[in-house]
Amino acid sequence: MPSSIEAGTALETRTYPVTRADLVRYAGASGDFNPIHWSDRVAGAVGLPGVIAHGMLTQALAARAVAEWTADWADGAPAQVVELGAKFTNPVVVPDDDTGIDLVVAGTVKAVDGDLVTLALEVTAGGTKVLGNPRAVVRA
Amino acid sequence: MSLDSTLVGRTFPATAPYRVSHEKVTEFARATGTPYAADGPVPATFPIVLAFAAMNDFLDTVGVDLSRIVHGEQKFAYERPIRTGDVLTTALTVASLRQIGGNDIIGTRSDVTDADGSLVCSTSAVLVHRGGTA
């Protein structure tokens, strides 16, 4: 880990587009075939504003940013994550078009304690925060 | 329909042993665009594959339809890295249950253990069971 990584260090914001095709792909990879992530009919029937991204896809993309940031610290090898967590505070509605919606992941180093680094994240879609208190602790 | 409060504290039977393969982790990493090398850490949220299977078994047992579940919160705490070749089982415990506005708020903890019975990763989830009338 470079010595420039210290409490308060801002990390480069990442933007990941999420399309319906990404939801289908994530469903297959994760085994989460909840129809609210692919069927407008079912999503509407249970009172959702539309097909929404898996909360776990959103959290996985937050973890992807952590992996990409920490890989930059160590010649390409992502750091081991020790803790990861978030609340799913707002749904990420994914339109049925070719561009989808951009998920934007910002991060700041919150604390450095030996080889443990705590990262505070901010994850937004369409300008709205979609994760509550997303954070990660990595061994770097 | 509200869930029965006597579920709190109950641990459900563990999932069948699951062997972590390089191919499955690669598929998961690609679906999320996450960097992953054969000898590197698996994507941090990969244990959801196991926790989700345990949750599905739980929902089947208590008679809740998956489409009525929205994920409220998810946490992972690792005891050690997951490696390909690990044979893992997952047991779900209902940690808490409350009703708010016709919804059940279900707190679960799913412990992922290896073939030696050692804890690898502890996951906790809040599941919102939407009551509704639809």
pLDDT tens, per residue, chain A with 140 residues: 888 899 999 999 999 999 999 999 999 999 999 999 999 999 999 889 999 999 999 999 999 999 999 999 988 889 999 999 999 999 999 999 999 999 999 999 999 999 999 999 999 999 999 999 999 999 99
Tokens of A71: 């890989």
Q: Contact, B34 vs A67, CB < 8 A?
A: yes
A47 CB neighbour count, 10 Å cutoff: 13
Taking the model in full, what pTM does it have? 0.95
Task: Confirm or reject contact between B38 and chain A (CB < 8 A).
Answer: no
From chain B, the residues in CB contact with A63 under 8 A are 32, 34, 43-45
Q: Does ipTM top 0.90? A: yes
Task: Confirm or reject contact between B49 and chain A (CB < 8 A).
Answer: yes
For chain B, percent helix, then strand, then coil, each to nearest 5?
Answer: 25, 35, 40
Phi-psi region of B58 (alpha: psi -120 to 50; beta: other; left: phi over 0): alpha
Tell me the three state secondary structure of residue B98: strand
Helix B48-62 vs helix A55-73: crossing angle, to nearest 10: 160
Task: Confirm or reject contact between B107 and chain A (CB < 8 A).
Answer: no
From chain B, the residues in CB contact with A86 under 8 A are 73-75
Tokens of B46: 């990969």
Identify which of B32, B35, B67 has the shortest CB distance to residue A34. B67
Let me know how long chain B is. Answer: 134
